[in-house]
Amino acid sequence: MRRSSAVVVAALVGGVLVAGGVASAAPTSSPAVENTIGFKLGCDGYEHPGLGSISDEFHSTGVTISAPEKVAAGSTFTYRVQPGAMTVPTSGHAGRSAIRWTRMKYDFDIPAGVSLVDAQVVAGTSSNLSGAAPSVIRINDGGSPDAAGTHLRISGNNQTADSNGGGGNGPSTSKNDDGGIGAEAGKTFRLPAIDVTVIAGGAGSTVQPKLRVTDGNSGSFDSPKNAFTFLQREKDVFTVAYWERYNCSPHDSRSAGLNAGGQALATVNVVSQVATTTAVTSGASATIGQSTDLIAQVSPAPTGGTVQFKDGGTDISAPVAVVNGVATLPHTFTAAGDHSITAVYDGVLEFLTSTSPARTVSVAAADVQTTTALTVPSSAVEQTSVALTANISPATDGGTVQFKDGGTDIGGPIAVTAGGATLDHTFTTTGSHSITAVYSGTAGFGGSTAQAQTIEISSSALSTTTTLQVPAAAITGSAVDLTATVAPNNAVGTVQFKSNGTAIGTPVAVS
């Protein structure tokens, strides 16, 4: 059919044609699915000149159709349909030889509930044809070109076979003349595919491409309105030409109903598209060199699609699949400062695309690496206070140090001032103690842990010696001094003097 200047040229995208040559932000159709439906065409014959009706013939053939399973309501999409291969016989009626099939035409119904945009023959899809170049036109029930017709016809200049005065096959028919599309005897041929572009109806409807079987008696056995008609040219031994007209419809026998070729070749479901919103829900801060998750929430949760995160107008990595409405991208920033992060949902057939408002992520410079050095005495006495000191390098104010004995905290965290923290601690058990100090870090400075230091804690009880000084002789009733000297000289306590095991007086303080 001639393309109107008002018709938008269609372009193939992902196996399905979409109007304008550019896919919308969200797809308007699912990928095309190709299917071949095999069936028989039952053909009623009529001889000219001759005896009239001849034996019925049945040809195994089929139709290949490529169509999406779903399309958006009101969207423009294209399906492709092509008659299957057939073979022209070499023998004709009454012992004659077949020469060719000629004036072939193949009709399809325009699906109900759609608006036809365009139909075009697909170049390079036919084989072993002769005669006129195939074209596709829109026709009415009488076979004439009609912009309001409900059928599409593949033919050569709409030259078709006459139905012995039965009409209904178009304005340029003949019962005894070559014309239109032909194929020679013994050849297996195939008519071309056609791309049919239509506008879908409302959500909930279906689009069902079919052979021409719905108007009047087009689905009946033997009608000029049958989907496939042709003339078969024959000759006898005297080279006299004979012509046989065949009307062919999808029947396995004259009395049988329509077979698979008379049913819907495909069913395209028309669906609605839901608006979505996308929001970046991840945190507002990050640090250079440290991975952070960028998270986007798409609502309502779609059944597929991807999110492209952007920093300003620049894509961040590749698109991320949406799972249960959420897309997550681990990302490491390389520059400090405020970053304007957006998320663009690309949409799927039933969920439209959307872009999030920008979310500012403040990216801080990476923390300065620190070291912590621990200073402790190598030994101490239990129950005696000692100083544990941690020094942070580079020196900073802020953060805390937690001293540890093995894996156990010693007291609470100690604030760091001028790079240092000191804890006065009294050990209550003897033996070796492994002391560490853990710096928490502060703004701009990372945490660190000191290498463990060992301190030996000894018992607080010391050995003493006592030396006694008394006169060698004394007089009864006269006073003498009894002196006890205790070493070491810092000993404290009392001394009890005794005579033959009996206490002499009360204990005397040591000083």
CATH number at residue 88: 2.60.40.2270
Q: Classify residue 452: in a domain, yes or no.
A: yes
Q: Which of 262, 232, 189 is nearest to 44 (CA)?
A: 232
Residue 99 carries which side chain, given as an amino acid letter?
A: I
Cα–Cα distance between 379 and 373 in angstroms, integer? 18
Cα–Cα distance between 329 and 345 in angstroms, integer? 14
Q: Which of 100, 152, 166 is nearest to 130 (CA)?
A: 100
Out of 244, 271, 298, a domain closes at 271
| Judgement on whether residues 217 and 107 belong to the same structural domain of the protein | yes
143 token code pair: 């076979």
| Judgement on whether residues 316 and 209 belong to the same structural domain of the protein | no
Q: Who's near 11: CB < 8 A, 6+ residues apart?
A: 17, 18, 20, 21, 22
Q: What are phi and psi of 190, to 5 degrees?
A: -145, 130
Out of 364, 392, 415, a domain closes at 364
Cα–Cα distance between 101 and 385 in angstroms, integer? 115
CB 44 within 8 A of CB 221: yes
| Judgement on whether residues 182 and 232 belong to the same structural domain of the protein | yes
Q: Tell me, what's the pLDDT at 367?
A: 81
Q: Who's near 101: CB < 8 A, 6+ residues apart?
A: 88, 182, 183, 230, 231, 232, 233
| Judgement on whether residues 296 and 352 belong to the same structural domain of the protein | yes
Out of 317, 338, 364, a domain closes at 364
Q: Is 62 helix (H, G, I), strand (E, B) or coil?
A: strand
Q: 10 Å Cβ neighbour count for 400?
A: 16
Q: Tell me, what's the pLDDT at 18?
A: 32
CATH number of the domain bearing residue 426: 2.60.40.10
Q: Tell me, what's the pLDDT at 163?
A: 77
Cα–Cα distance between 470 and 483 in angstroms, integer? 7
Q: Tell me, what's the pLDDT at 166?
A: 66
Q: Which of 381, 382, 399, 433 is nearest to 390 (CA)?
A: 399
Q: Classify residue 28: in a domain, yes or no.
A: no
Residue 461 carries which side chain, given as an amino acid letter?
A: A
| Judgement on whether residues 107 and 253 belong to the same structural domain of the protein | yes
Cα–Cα distance between 501 and 497 in angstroms, integer? 9
Cα–Cα distance between 84 and 66 in angstroms, integer? 13
CB 104 within 8 A of CB 182: yes
Q: Tell me, what's the pLDDT at 165?
A: 66
Q: Tell me, what's the pLDDT at 307?
A: 97
| Judgement on whether residues 116 and 261 belong to the same structural domain of the protein | yes
| Judgement on whether residues 401 and 426 belong to the same structural domain of the protein | yes
| Judgement on whether residues 418 and 501 belong to the same structural domain of the protein | no
Q: What are phi and psi of 383, to 5 degrees?
A: 70, 15
Q: Looking at the 3D structure of the chain, how many domains does it have?
A: 4
CB 198 within 8 A of CB 206: no
The string of DSSP codes covering 120-137 is: EE-TT--BS-EESPPEEE
Cα–Cα distance between 183 and 239 in angstroms, integer? 19
Q: 10 Å Cβ neighbour count for 381?
A: 16
Which residues form the domain of 124?
Answer: 35-271
Residue 4 host element (H or E)? none
Q: Tell me, what's the pLDDT at 19?
A: 30
| Judgement on whether residues 211 and 263 belong to the same structural domain of the protein | yes
Cα 276 to chain centroid distance, Å, stands at: 16
Q: Who's near 424: CB < 8 A, 6+ residues apart?
A: 385, 386, 387, 388
40 token code pair: 């028989």
Q: Tell me, what's the pLDDT at 51?
A: 65
CB 200 within 8 A of CB 74: yes
| Judgement on whether residues 469 and 436 belong to the same structural domain of the protein | no
Q: Tell me, what's the pLDDT at 25?
A: 62
Cα–Cα distance between 240 and 245 in angstroms, integer? 17
Q: Classify residue 30: in a domain, yes or no.
A: no
Q: Is 207 helix (H, G, I), strand (E, B) or coil?
A: strand
Task: Please give the chain's pLDDT, 511 residues, in tens.
Answer: 333 322 222 333 333 333 333 333 689 999 999 999 999 999 999 888 766 678 899 999 999 999 999 999 999 999 999 999 999 999 988 889 999 999 999 999 999 999 999 999 999 999 999 999 999 999 999 999 999 999 999 999 999 999 776 667 999 999 999 999 999 999 999 999 999 999 999 999 999 999 999 998 999 999 999 999 999 999 987 877 899 999 999 999 999 999 999 999 999 999 999 999 999 999 999 989 889 999 999 999 998 999 999 999 999 999 999 999 999 999 999 999 999 999 999 999 999 999 999 999 999 888 889 999 999 999 998 999 999 999 999 998 999 999 999 999 999 999 999 999 999 999 999 999 999 999 999 988 889 999 999 999 988 766 788 899 989 888 888 888 889 998 888 777 789 988 898 988 899 988 8
Cα–Cα distance between 328 and 96 in angstroms, integer? 75
